[in-house]
Amino acid sequence: MVIFFATLKSVAVLMGIGIIGFWVLAKRIVPLDVLKVLTPLVLEVALPCMIFYNIITKFSPEKMPNWWTLPLWWAAMAGLFLALSLLGMLYIDKKNRGEVGISLFYPNATFFPLGIIPFIYGPDSSLLIELFLFTLFFPLLVFNGYIFFFRSKKATYKFSLKDSKIFNRVLLATLFSVFLKLTDMDVYVPNFVVEITGIVGATALPLLMLTIGGNVFIDFTRRGKFNYLASTKFVLTKNILFPAAMLLFLILIRPPESVANLMMLQSVVPPLSAVPVLTARAKGNVSISNQFLISSFICSIVTIPVCLWCFSVYY
């Protein structure tokens, strides 16, 4: 039960920060447009700094010789998620299959695990480094794959180097810092630069959760008439079926322990908070995407600790 209570505490802390973000916007303490400033600040500055600092100070290629296999394991996991997502599209809400698909397929891959890992595995756990390497290509999949869930609608896709986010700062920060470590050139990075990235990176998680809370508030105000049946089916699929299928997959495949931990974490977290934005870009039903997101976030307070406890017992 230690895992259960540690996870419950970590989720409660994350949700608490998110609730503050929700409350700040609900009370109009700051204007709604503040998210347009905070979101790029977090994703383009704070998160890359966090990644750079952690890899430069904690990544050891000698102690982690199989680090390069992590993106491959992520690809295998994405294949499983895609199969489950396509299955969910058949029965959750046939009128909004694209919205169901991206909400199931895209997990909150970085933000929630960043908050959970230190509570369960310790603040110096190598899982933090492995998480960055594991999700290395996740942004590329998000910005270039979502449109294919909406092929039956009037969504159009024109490739744009800028919109594709091929050279996003998270990817560049990860690759650059790994290159420095592999070539032993990290010793030439001035200490004050490392310290600066550490200080700025330390703001990433709280800013991320405040931003998510604010986005959830906006999603809540745009939820429309609540579809209880579809939302219930979605929560049962995303919050319960996904972790159950992942646990079975891990028991059968038996990957390395760190990979199993990362895969399980990816399966239990709620959808990516940007899903409603992606739905709007594809001219989909933003209201139902908001409902799926909100429902999964609320229920994850209970389902994440329970699922990770089951993982600790049966794996």
Q: Nearest CA to 126 among 259, 7, 1, 12?
A: 259
The tens digit of pLDDT for each residue in 217-271 reads 776 676 667 888 999 999 999 999 999 999 999 999 999 999 999 999 999 999 9
Q: State the residue range of the domain holding 232.
A: 2-31+63-156+205-314
Whether pLDDT at 155 is above 60: no
Query: Is residue 193 in some structural domain?
Result: no
pLDDT at 265: 96
Helix (H) or strand (E) holding 97: helix 97-105
Instruction: Select the more confidently predicted residue: 13 or 94.
Output: 94
Query: Is residue 41 in some structural domain?
Result: no
CB atoms within 10 A of CB 114: 21
Query: Is residue 161 in some structural domain?
Result: no
Whether pLDDT at 153 is above 80: no
Query: Is residue 57 in some structural domain?
Result: no
Give the bridge partners for 271, in sequence order.
107
In angstroms, the CA 284 to CA 297 distance is 21
Query: Is residue 113 in some structural domain?
Result: yes
In angstroms, the CA 71 to CA 68 distance is 7
Query: Is residue 300 in some structural domain?
Result: yes
Q: Half-sphere exposure of residue 120, counting CA atoms within 13 Å on the CB side? A: 27
Query: Is residue 72 in some structural domain?
Result: yes
Query: Is residue 39 in some structural domain?
Result: no
User: How many domains does the chain fold into?
Assistant: 1
Q: How far is CA 114 from CA 27, 50, 204, 229, 273, in A?
A: 28, 11, 10, 32, 15
Whether pLDDT at 85 is above 90: yes
In angstroms, the CA 31 to CA 276 distance is 20
Whether pLDDT at 161 is above 60: no
- Percentage of the residues of the chain whose pLDDT score is greater than 70: 93
Helix (H) or strand (E) holding 106: none
